[in-house]
Amino acid sequence: MLLSGRGSNFEALAEACDRGEIPGRIVLVVSDVPTAAGLEKARARGISSKVIGAGPRATRVEREAELAVALAESRVDLVCLAGFMRILSAEFLARWPLRILNVHPSLLPAFPGLHAQEQAVRYGARVSGATVHFVDAGTDTGPIVGQAAVPVLEHDDARSLAARTLPVEHALYVSSVRRVLEGGWRISGRSVNFPAPGLA
């Protein structure tokens, strides 16, 4: 799990693993921000955590080399990003094809990048939501694993929309990680096709 901040999506995934809703467990939490609350949440759960690439001095090549070693040492099968604010290089991503997921707080391809909820409110969208997608070299452009809609209400601001969206993100990320780890899915063009329930 890679994060830069609060770590609420990490907690939702960790709790789902504990409840047996996800066929896996979180073995490592990595952050580029030493003070990220998500790191403390990992420690409190007894999950290994590491700070990699903090500060301006480390180059991207150095950061990603260290990250690759940490992921390999922890024998990670799937990498989940949640509020991870570093761009991963195409070279790094190529080593993890269809094995890195991200959660984004909008219905992609609408409102990619930073401040998605603010973008949705400013645009006047009536429906926004959350997307879980595989990570490719673009910004929030990878194949979509799951989406869930959230209404944008009159008088919403970025903060109120984000608060309404967050629990939807949590549930979506849990169900998406479960479906990815259960396997049996195929990529066709940009579409991720999952087996029908009961046929997996």
| Catalytically active residues, by annotation | 104
Among 8, 119, 128, 176, binds ligand GAR (CB under 6 A): 8
Dig out the tokens for 111 from the structure.
């409102």
- Give the SS3 label for residue 101: strand
Among 14, 33, 116, 125, binds ligand GAR (CB under 6 A): 116
Among 67, 88, 101, 104, binds ligand GAR (CB under 6 A): 104
Cβ–Cβ contacts within 10 Å for residue 69, how many? 11
Among 105, 129, 142, 146, binds ligand GAR (CB under 6 A): 105
Per-residue x/- mask for ligand GAR, residues 38 to 77, rule CB under 6 A?
x---------------------------------------
Nearest CB to ligand GAR, comparing residues 72 and 159 = 159
> Does residue 3 belong to the site contacting ligand GAR (CB under 6 A)?
yes
Rule CB under 6 A: which of 160-199 touch ligand GAR?
166, 169
- Among 101, 156, 154, 155, smallest CA distance to 130 is for 101
Cα separations (Å) of 68 from 36, 94, 168? 21, 12, 31
Q: Tell me the β-bridge partners of 130.
A: 148
> Does residue 142 belong to the site contacting ligand GAR (CB under 6 A)?
no
Give the CA-trace dihedral at 133, 136, 137, 138, to 10 degrees.
-30
Nearest CB to ligand GAR, comparing residues 71 and 162 = 162
Question: What is the distance between the alpha carbons of residues 152 and 45, in angstroms, rounded to a whole number?
Answer: 34
Nearest CB to ligand GAR, comparing residues 33 and 180 = 33
> Does residue 7 belong to the site contacting ligand GAR (CB under 6 A)?
yes
Question: What is the distance between the alpha carbons of residues 177 and 128, in angstroms, rounded to a whole number?
Answer: 21
Q: Tell me the β-bridge partners of 42.
A: none
Give the CA-trace dihedral at 72, 76, 80, 84, to 10 degrees.
-20
- Among 41, 35, 92, 40, smallest CA distance to 62 is for 92
> Does residue 33 belong to the site contacting ligand GAR (CB under 6 A)?
no
> Does residue 129 belong to the site contacting ligand GAR (CB under 6 A)?
no
Nearest CB to ligand GAR, comparing residues 66 and 118 = 118
List of residues contacting ligand GAR (CB under 6 A):
3, 5-9, 38, 82-83, 103-105, 116, 166, 169
